[in-house]
Amino acid sequence: MNFSDRFQPAKKRFPLVSLYLFVCAILLIWDKPALALPTLQLDIGGGTYDLTTETIVSSGDSFTLYALLKPNLKNTLSDTYYISAALSPMVSDGTDLGSFQFNGSTIDVTGDMVYGVPPLEQILELQGWDSGDLPKHGIYPTYFAEFEFQFSSANRATGYNTQDDAGQGPIDDPSGALYYAAFVVDLSDLSPGYSIHFDLYNTKLKNGGDIDVTQFAPFSHDAEARRTEQVPGPSTLLLLGSGLIGLGLWKRNMRGTGK
């Protein structure tokens, strides 16, 4: 046996080892998007991702909010899910702050809202926060409205991570990894200086009537309206300018009369 023959078995094994490593790498890359998807996510059509607040934000007062579900044994397609629409910044006094539209329903702020932390309790005395409720994450306690819904098997979409692809919105796919529900939102009539923050969650009923959250969209995958600032139009500026001129003339006349 010559010197090169002694290494023939090693040469034969090397391609098999390389092939095994290559297949493993492909499987890891293939599975990564699926593994990275949270069970629940929110997205806003045309929105962007705010790296500071780690939230998907809208580009104006009117937008479509998307709830996304990747089902598992504890969070099924037939379950009932909830979206909390919370007043931001936090407000503790019930006052009239206008209204907003959520999927065709008008919500008076704060008249149609409840103060506290989600989920909405059936027993009013239990509305204060406990360990089974949604974590406050700098949003709660405040006034919030809760919307109940179910996902439809007809609304299925390709899997995507809203933190990485914020604003994309679901792409219909009959064999996709996600199910989605869409909600049209309009904050045009909400008082200036205020916005609405959105959270998505599932719940369960405990002994004693306490309702707790079982699963929620990670706070890196929640959503919030980034409102359009109201800029005065030319007619408003003209009226304002006329008023200031009139005020100046009045003050000058008053000085001239010694009053």
3-state secondary structure of 68: strand
Do 56 and 48 form a contact (C-beta atoms < 8 A)? yes
> Facing residues of 53 across strands?
none
Per-residue pLDDT of the chain (259 residues; tens, 9 = 90+): 555 555 455 555 555 555 555 545 544 444 444 458 999 999 999 999 999 999 999 989 999 999 999 999 999 999 999 999 999 999 999 999 999 999 999 999 999 999 999 999 887 777 777 888 999 999 999 999 999 999 999 999 999 999 999 999 999 999 999 999 999 999 999 999 999 999 999 999 877 788 999 999 999 999 999 987 654 444 434 444 444 444 444 444 444 444 4
The pTM for the full model equals 0.76
3-state secondary structure 78-95: CCCEEEEEEEECCCCCCC
Distance between CA atoms of residues 112 and 120, nearest Å: 13
Q: Enumerate residues 6+ apart whose C-beta is below 8 A from 196.
A: 85, 86, 87, 88, 100, 185, 187, 190, 224, 225
What is the bridge-based pairing of β-strands 223-224 and 195-205?
Answer: antiparallel
Apex 77 CA angle, 187 and 73, nearest 5: 125
Name the strand (E) or helix (H) holding 63.
Answer: strand 62-69
